[in-house]
């Protein structure tokens, strides 16, 4: 089962705190969408509004064709997978997974069959008689997923589902989540603060900050062409170079780059560390001195100081084949497509 | 520091408390146990292994009746208190806004700290023939004559329930708030209504806490002398009242000791019967 | 549903406060019976009670027994908790059970046992014997509260102090006790409130000098009287003050 979601002009206040600001978003049926942002950005509040645990102060929530804004959680075609999983400790895994079916009045045999089916989907069929406390964190996470899917929701809401797991397990579970989502076809809305997780699993990422949507789009687009300085920074490390835009383009201490669409005034030029090149192609940024460099396997990460701007420190990802020495002078350049620019307003 | 000196120091810290407990609790308790097998001849005490006192407990009607009365009152009080306290605790935990919960709880159990002699007396004020309840009922014309409320089992039970509702509200509340709110959310999210959420999720999860509170109620209630003495009058006596009678008028320490041992045995049985439900370490 | 909940809350509070309300209201009764109709308010019963030597003596005795027995109970409880939490001793589980045991027995039995022994060995009953009984019932609580708060994070601070050259006594006095101050204070306040209110042990183990609950008990024989209301209200006020003090100082600080 799957359905589209449409949020219109949502606003929510907790007392005087403006937690959600003018949120409008459309999610297609079967899409895997991630709400990404730092803690306190409103992503969990937004998920609670979707799940029916919070009624928004303003705006509407539509799932499929129906207005769900004021429909309680029990009557929504959504289920939530909670951050602490909220597995019922006094029930076996099978009873946990079958709980929603039991509430729907489905006969015991039928619901046990369905529960076993879902436990099989997450690879825990053999453990169906166990209690939650006998499981590892990753296994509990799977049971929570099976329980949420057992009632065949149209939209599954996941609140930091991998937050309690260690890094290695988290990466493994990402793949599994994505895989299961493909199998069931349900719309998944997933909250996280981990941008790598978001990139690994999402069809589309919604970056949030201070209650607002900063940017929304496929991972590649958001990483390479972020709509705001905040989204640019949140998706990964970014070099900021102050610039002044005039009719000649954006002038910086390192180079002047074309800036056709920007209004005159102060701006920030953004370049990802891996976009700084040594092969001289693109726009030349002049010479820079290596302050220090560290080997990372896939690349070496260097702090470099441009000769033209001794107060500036840039981070560059250089090829892993050779570790540059401290004090070495390198030529930096960047391809025009790898530059993003934000004026004070768009920042 | 070697293990041996460390251990000696450790003993030094524990010893005073141990000696105190030994001298003023365990030894007296053992002496009381021995006393229960002694017997009185005239006014002189004869030690030995006599079963006279225990025989007396089961054969003398006013003694074994006291056991029954105590059990009936205690069970009634325990059940009624749990039934009244649970909704109160649940309302405070789930309906009162979080920032007010501590205050409401504090207020709900404030009279708990009244001296219990005073608390029983205060109920007497309310339930007496000329008391608040009778006067109010007569003023609004519901009754013509005062009804007998004080010096009845009803009064005893009311006094006890008042006390234990406060105690149980506290323990059950503590249990409810330590549950992750996500249990309730998850149940409702999966389609459970308020009653089903309570029946299938909240109640089973709080059962150990309820059992513990109920056991505490049982122990404290069955051993209390003041409330039945002040509110129940002398129409029917409970075990503590009967024990006090032996101490007062007749100075029959052996029989009083035997009764005390029987009372402890009942508590122990109650504990064994409910042990698998209890989490005494989580009171 | 919501209305029913609030209604229940109000009814429950009515039930809980009914006796206390009647007690306090009729302590201001201008008449000889603390029953409706209410005449007053009058402070004459308070004046009478506070000028009654027996009552004020009993009040002082109660304070003495409560603070004295609590101080002993907390000291012994603290030392035992430190010994058991910080040293590996053979039979420590048995000792913990033994220290907690008095909690599981009704006060009547504790008092009865002590009464029998004191009678046997011919020790006269006094405030001291009542105090001994109160230490017996408060020691397990003090021990349990303090023991429960001796977490591992404190142990590391003690190790650090020892590492820096502090003797065992210095560690206990300068590091452990101050760190556990909230638990120690909570144990002390709880002991004081319990001992202050305790009737049956004090009744069995005192003779000429008696504590306030015992004094109230003897006044109870003469039936309803606004004097009792006045004393009861004073006792309630003192207990409530202690509880509120505990709530708003020690416990609040511990939470923050």
Q: What is the nearest CA distance from B61 to chain C, expressed in angstroms?
A: 23
Partner residue opposite B18 with nearest CB, options C95, C204, C242:
C95
Hey, where are the domains in chain B? Answer: 60-282
Q: What is the nearest CA distance from B188 to chain C, expressed in angstroms?
A: 16
Q: What is the nearest CA distance from A164 to chain B, expressed in angstroms?
A: 15
pLDDT, mean of residues C171-187: 85
Q: B281 pLDDT band (50/70/90 cuts)? A: very low
Q: C180 pLDDT band (50/70/90 cuts)? A: confident
**Minimal CA–CA distance to B179: which of B278, B82, B93?**
B93
Strands A187-192 and A155-159: parallel
Quick check: A259 and A252 in contact, CB under 8 A? no
pLDDT at B181 over 80: yes
pLDDT, mean of residues C27-48: 78
- Cross-chain residue pair A80–B185, CB shorter than 8 Å: yes
- Cross-chain residue pair A73–B188, CB shorter than 8 Å: yes
Domain C64-214 top-level CATH class? mainly alpha
Mapping DSSP to helix (H, G, I), strand (E, B) and coil, where does residue B38 land?
coil
CB atoms closer than 10 angstroms to residue A46: 29
Hey, where are the domains in chain A? Answer: 5-232, 237-343
- Cross-chain residue pair C239–B113, CB shorter than 8 Å: yes
Percent over 90 (pLDDT), chain A: 67
Q: A270 pLDDT band (50/70/90 cuts)? A: very high
Q: What are phi and psi of A254, to 5 degrees?
A: -95, -40
pLDDT at A347 over 50: no
Q: Of C21 and B43, which is predicted with more confidence?
A: C21
Partners for A (CB, 8 Å, 3+ pairs)?
B
pLDDT tens-digit series, residues A153-182: 999 999 998 887 888 888 888 888 999 999
DSSP state of C246: I
Q: A288 pLDDT band (50/70/90 cuts)? A: very high
Interhelix angle B116-127/C2-25, rounded to 10 degrees, is: 100
How does the average pLDDT of chain B come out, rounded? 86
d(Cα B126, Cα B137) in Å, to the nearest integer? 12
pLDDT at B1 over 50: no
Please state the pTM of the whole predicted model.
0.81
pLDDT at A240 over 50: yes
Nearest CA in chain A to B199: A103
Contacts of B217 in chain C (CB under 8 A): none
How does the average pLDDT of chain A come out, rounded? 90
Contacts of B185 in chain A (CB under 8 A): 53, 73, 80, 82, 86
CB pairs under 8 A between A and B: 59
pLDDT tens-digit series, residues C91-150: 888 888 888 888 888 899 999 999 999 988 888 888 989 999 999 999 999 998 888 888
pLDDT tens-digit series, residues B156-178: 999 999 999 998 999 899 889 88
pLDDT at A57 over 80: yes
Mapping DSSP to helix (H, G, I), strand (E, B) and coil, where does residue C82 land?
helix
Partner residue opposite B25 with nearest CB, options C79, C101, C106:
C101
Nearest CA in chain C to B163: C16
d(Cα A306, Cα A315) in Å, to the nearest integer? 11
Tokens (6 digits) for C221: 């024989």
| CATH superfamily, region A5-232 | P-loop containing nucleotide triphosphate hydrolases (3.40.50.300)
Partners for B (CB, 8 Å, 3+ pairs)?
A, C
Residue B282: per-residue pLDDT: 41
DSSP character string of A157-223: EEESTTTTS-HHHHHHHHHHHHHHHHHH--EEEEEES-HHHHHHH-SEEEEEETTEEEEEE-HHHHH
CA atoms within 13 A on the CB side of A293: 25
Would you call C184 an interface residue with chain B, using a CB distance cutoff of 8 Å? no
Q: A51 pLDDT band (50/70/90 cuts)? A: very high
pLDDT, mean of residues B228-257: 87
Q: What is the nearest CA distance from C139 to chain B, expressed in angstroms?
A: 8
Residue A345: per-residue pLDDT: 61
pLDDT at B3 over 60: no
Domain A237-343, what fold?
A: OB fold (Dihydrolipoamide Acetyltransferase, E2P) (2.40.50)
Contacts of B117 in chain C (CB under 8 A): 199, 213, 216-217, 220
d(Cα A257, Cα A285) in Å, to the nearest integer? 10
Residue B131: per-residue pLDDT: 80
d(Cα C96, Cα C77) in Å, to the nearest integer? 11
pLDDT, mean of residues B19-28: 92
Residue B271: per-residue pLDDT: 83
- Cross-chain residue pair C12–B25, CB shorter than 8 Å: no
- Cross-chain residue pair C104–B219, CB shorter than 8 Å: yes
Which of B1-14 are b and which e, b meaning 16 or more Cβ less than 10 Å from the residue's Cβ?
eeeeeeeebbeebb
* Distance in angstroms between the alpha carbons of the first and the last residue of chain B: 37
pLDDT tens-digit series, residues A95-140: 999 999 999 889 999 999 999 999 999 889 899 999 999 998 889 9
Partner residue opposite A99 with nearest CB, options B190, B193, B205:
B190
Q: What is the nearest CA distance from C181 to chain B, expressed in angstroms?
A: 18
Q: Which of A53, A97, A99 would you mutate first to test chain B, the one with the most B CBs within 10 A?
A: A99
Tokens (6 digits) for C165: 């050259």
- ipTM of this complex > 0.90? no
Residue A230: per-residue pLDDT: 93
Strands A32-36 and A256-257: unpaired
Tokens (6 digits) for A52: 């029916």
> Going by beta carbons, is chain C in contact with chain A, meaning 3 or more pairs sit under 8 Å apart?
no
Domain B60-282, what fold?
A: MetI-like fold (1.10.3720)
Q: B279 pLDDT band (50/70/90 cuts)? A: low
Torsion over CA: C149, C152, C156, C158 (sign): positive
> Going by beta carbons, is chain A in contact with chain B, meaning 3 or more pairs sit under 8 Å apart?
yes
**Minimal CA–CA distance to A209: which of A221, A195, A196?**
A195
pLDDT, mean of residues A322-330: 88
């Amino acid at each position: 089962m799957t359905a589209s979601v449409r949020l219109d002009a949502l606003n929510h206040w907790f007392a005087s705190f403006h937690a959600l600001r003018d949120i409008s978003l459309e999610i297609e049926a079967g899409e895997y969408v991630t709400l990404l942002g730092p803690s306190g950005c409103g992503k969990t509040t937004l998920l609670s509004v979707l799940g029916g645990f919070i009624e928004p102060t303003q705006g509407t929530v539509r799932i499929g064709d129906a207005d769900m804004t004021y429909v309680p959680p029990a009557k929504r075609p959504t289920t939530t997978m909670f951050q602490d999983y909220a597995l019922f400790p006094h029930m076996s895994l099978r009873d946990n997974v079958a709980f929603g079916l039991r509430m729907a009045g489905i006969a015991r045999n039928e619901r046990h069959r369905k529960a076993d089916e879902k436990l099989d989907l997450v690879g825990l069929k053999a453990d169906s008689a166990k209690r939650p406390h006998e499981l590892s964190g990753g296994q509990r996470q799977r049971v929570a997923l099976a329980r949420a899917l057992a009632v065949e929701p149209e939209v599954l809401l996941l609140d930091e589902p991998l937050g309690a797991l260690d890094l290695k397990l988290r990466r493994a579970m990402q793949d599994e989540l994505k895989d299961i989502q493909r199998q069931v076809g349900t719309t998944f809305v997933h909250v996280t603060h981990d941008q790598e997780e978001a990139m690994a699993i999402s069809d589309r990422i919604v970056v949030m900050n201070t209650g607002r949507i900063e940017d929304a789009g496929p991972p590649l687009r958001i990483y390479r062409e972020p709509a705001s300085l905040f989204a640019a920074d949140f998706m990964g490390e970014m070099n900021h170079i102050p610039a002044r835009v005039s009719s000649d383009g954006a002038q910086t201490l390192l180079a002047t780059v074309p800036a056709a669409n920007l209004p005159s005034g102060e701006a920030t030029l953004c370049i990802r560390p891996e976009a700084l090149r040594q092969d001289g192609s693109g726009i030349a940024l002049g010479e820079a001195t290596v302050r220090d460099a560290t080997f990372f396997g896939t690349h070496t990460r260097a702090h470099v100081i441009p000769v033209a701007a001794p107060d500036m420190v840039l981070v560059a990802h250089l090829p892993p084949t050779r570790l540059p020495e401290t004090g070495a002078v390198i030529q930096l350049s960047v391809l025009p497509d790898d530059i993003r620019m934000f004026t004070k307003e768009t920042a | 520091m070697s293990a041996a000196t460390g251990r000696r120091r450790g003993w030094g810290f524990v010893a005073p408390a141990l000696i105190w407990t030994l001298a003023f609790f365990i030894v007296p308790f053992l002496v009381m146990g021995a006393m229960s097998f002694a017997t009185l001849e005239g006014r002189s005490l004869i030690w030995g292994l006599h079963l006279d006192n225990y025989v007396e407990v089961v054969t003398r009607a006013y003694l074994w009746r006291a056991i029954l009365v105590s059990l009936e009152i205690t069970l009634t009080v325990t059940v009624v208190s749990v039934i009244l306290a649970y909704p109160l605790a649940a309302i405070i935990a789930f309906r009162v806004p979080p920032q007010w919960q501590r205050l409401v709880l504090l207020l709900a159990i404030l009279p708990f700290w009244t001296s219990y002699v005073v608390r029983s007396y205060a109920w007497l004020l309310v339930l007496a023939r000329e008391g608040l309840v009778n006067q109010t009922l007569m003023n609004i014309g519901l009754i013509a004559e005062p009804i007998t409320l004080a010096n009845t089992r009803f009064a005893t039970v009311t006094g006890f329930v008042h006390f234990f509702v406060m105690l149980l509200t506290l323990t059950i509340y503590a249990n409810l708030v330590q549950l992750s709110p996500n249990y309730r959310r998850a149940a409702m999210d999966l389609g459970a209504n308020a009653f089903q959420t309570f029946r299938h999720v909240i109640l089973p999860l709080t059962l150990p806490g309820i059992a513990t509170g109920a056991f505490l109620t049982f122990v404290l209630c069955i051993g209390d002398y003041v409330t039945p003495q002040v509110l129940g009058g002398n129409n029917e006596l409970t075990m503590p009242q009967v024990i006090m009678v032996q101490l007062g008028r007749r100075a029959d320490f052996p029989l009083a000791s035997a009764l005390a041992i029987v009372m402890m045995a009942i508590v122990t049985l109650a504990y064994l019967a409910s042990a698998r439900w209890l989490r005494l370490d989580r009171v | 549903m919501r209305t029913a909940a609030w209604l229940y809350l109000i009814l429950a509070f009515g039930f809980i406060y009914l006796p206390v309300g009647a007690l306090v209201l009729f302590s201001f009764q201008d008449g000889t019976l603390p029953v409706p109709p209410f005449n007053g308010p009058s402070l004459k019963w308070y004046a009478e009670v506070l000028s009654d030597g027996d009552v004020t003596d009993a009040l002082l005795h109660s304070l003495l027994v409560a603070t004295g027995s609590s101080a002993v109970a907390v000291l012994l409880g603290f030392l035992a908790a430190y010994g058991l939490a910080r040293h590996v001793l053979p039979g420590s589980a048995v000792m913990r059970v033994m220290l907690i045991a008095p909690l599981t027995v009704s006060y009547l039995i504790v008092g009865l046992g002590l009464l029998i022994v004191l009678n046997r060995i011919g020790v006269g009953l006094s405030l001291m014997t009542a105090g001994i009984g109160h230490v017996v019932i408060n020691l397990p609580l003090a021990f349990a509260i303090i023991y429960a708060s001796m977490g591992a994070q404190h142990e590391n601070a003690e190790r650090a102090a020892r590492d820096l050259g502090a003797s065992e006594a210095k560690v206990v006095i300068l590091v452990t006790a101050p760190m556990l101050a909230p638990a120690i204070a909570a144990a002390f306040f709880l002991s004081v409130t319990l001992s202050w209110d305790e009737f049956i042990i004090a009744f069995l183990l005192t003779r000429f000098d008696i504590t306030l609950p015992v004094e109230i008990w003897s006044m109870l024989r003469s039936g309803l009287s606004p004097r009792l209301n006045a004393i009861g209200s004073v006792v309630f006020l003192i207990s409530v003050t202690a509880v509120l003090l505990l709530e708003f100082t020690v416990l609040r600080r511990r939470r923050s």
